[in-house]
Amino acid sequence: MDVLQDFQLTSVSGRIEQGSEAEFQATPVRMRSLLGPLAMLPGTWKGRGFNQIWRPFHGSQDRFLELNETIETLQFDEIPGDIPNRGLLQNDINLHGIRYLQQIQDAHVLGPNHKLAGIHIEPGLWLTTPATTNPSDPTTVARLANIPHGTSLVAQGSSSSTNSGPEIHPVSITPFTIGNPNNKIQFPESNLSTPSQFRTPHADIPHVTQAMVDNPNSVLSAALAGHTIIGTTVLRVSTNPLNPPTTGGGTSNIAFLQGAGGGPNANAAEVDAIFWIEIVREANGAIKHQLQYSQTVLLNFNGLSWPHVTVATLVKQ
């Protein structure tokens, strides 16, 4: 990796200038410019969220609906200098990025005691890529991740900014026939009023409501209530190379997840995620930075795509 000296460049994006100078003082001015929409991420973010996953069940039926109230820490560190990518069909380009470590715990309330159980750890990278001629793609961002279950992914996409709060649309956990998202299949585990041994016990998720199960993104909207958002940077990425504006991306799974002739055990076929980096003005005029995200992973097994949705609201420490 070629490391360049920290000399001054003018910011290429108004998004970078929205935050306070103190927020970025630990990051060299040049790197803030080159990181573009990622510039506010370096640091530690902590908060809470909600996780939902249809996981395969080897037994009397094919599925179990796991629901988790979560506590999360997300750490970002900048990668200093340029990341050269050599070109054959066009001139060389330089990437710039940050590395991250995501750790999610399941917060169980068991009687008078509070127990935390780790459910997810994910090391990875965020990158900015300049516009290219071969392929003919605009400026993009990309997330590279490795998950201990045996999945690696590259999710690439776009960034944008606004001087207001995020637009958070509903998301569904209802499974559908593989390749046909309009053919949704309802299962009783989605109805919390229907008793089921194939769903997380209510005692482990005392604050989970039917509204949260129907639309996990409602947790994000609720977290915004009473807050004034004066700026939002949006990072939207997908592993589906057919999703514009990028032609890159994909997932790779270990053999166990892919399965054999009878179909996959639980193949992570697609990942789609939106991250909102928000500048929040408190009632006393103070400014804080907040990160919200909504991620949907399609797990394919037994002929269906089962949406695995994770959401969280984190505050920069």
Stretch 102-117: mean pLDDT, rounded? 70
Domain locations in the chain?
16-316
Q: How confident is the model at residue 109 (pLDDT cuts 50, 70, 90)?
A: low
Average pLDDT over every residue of 197-215: 95
- Taking 90 as the threshold, does the pLDDT of residue 56 lie above it? yes
Q: Give residue 275's pLDDT band: very low, low, confident or very high (50, 70, 90).
A: very high
pLDDT at 113: 55
**For the purposes of burial, counting CB atoms within 10 Å of the CB of 183, is it exposed (0-12), middle (13-18) or buried (19 or more)?**
exposed
CATH number of this structure's domain 16-316: 2.40.128.20
pLDDT value, residue 29: 53
What are the tokens at 192? Answer: 């919390």
Instruction: Please give the pLDDT value at position 116.
Output: 61
Whole-number mean pLDDT of the chain?
89
**What is the average pLDDT across 5-27?**
36
Pick the more confident residue, 107 or 181. Answer: 181
Question: Which pLDDT does position 267 carry in this prediction?
Answer: 96
Given a cut of 90, is residue 236 above it in pLDDT? Answer: yes
Question: Minimal CA–CA distance to 219: which of 138, 93, 314, 122?
Answer: 314
pLDDT attached to residue 31: 55
Look at residue 2 in the predicted model and tell me its pLDDT. Answer: 34
Give yes or no for residue 162 having a pLDDT over 60: yes
Per-residue confidence band for 30, with pLDDT thresholds at 50, 70 and 90:
low
Q: What is the pTM (predicted TM-score) of this model?
A: 0.88
The confidence score (pLDDT) of residue 247 equals 87
Cα distance between residue 100 and residue 105, in whole Å: 17
> And the tokens for 176?
């559908």
pLDDT at 9 over 80: no
The reported pLDDT for the residue numbered 121 is 96
What pLDDT score does 246 carry?
83
The answer to whether residue 14 scores a pLDDT higher than 90 is no
In the prediction, which pLDDT does 11 show? Answer: 31
